[in-house]
Amino acid sequence: MAAVLPATGRLVVARLDGTRMADADSIFYEFSDALLFPGYFGWNWNALSDCLRDLHWLPADGYLIAVENAPRLLSSRVEDRQRLFRILLRAVHHWTNPLSKPGSKGLPFKVLLLCDLDEEAAQLRREIASCGFSSPGWMR
């Protein structure tokens, strides 16, 4: 972890449980609760994307989203899971891109998908790849 997150400064860690995120509404609730989204959060995919790329109410030197039981995350809603993966990737790129940050310094924004079995991790890798991307911000 020390190799990908700042050694000093404020680190925000959002710990989520895939077993509690079976549909879009539960996704919005869990992210809002974990990252203290402001009252104007719109409870939809666009609002989730916007908030993950803003976080001005939660300033930090790095962010880590850890999803326990990741294979259970939206397990019966493949399209929504791919949508979530794309939103998370956009956030990873946004935060690590130094051109969009004050002082031209990107910030670490990592997503950790925790699995119990190697086969589950391999399946998630395939799903992420099928979304058309691969990113160093994703940790497995």
pLDDT of residue 6: 64
pLDDT of residue 68: 95
Q: Which residues of the chain have pLDDT under 50?
A: 135-140
pLDDT of residue 70: 93
Burial of 74 (0-12, 13-18, 19+ CB in 10 A): buried
- Give the pTM: 0.84
pLDDT of residue 3: 59
What DSSP character marks residue 72?
G
pLDDT of residue 78: 86
**Rounded distance between C-alpha atoms, residue 77 and residue 108, angstroms:** 29
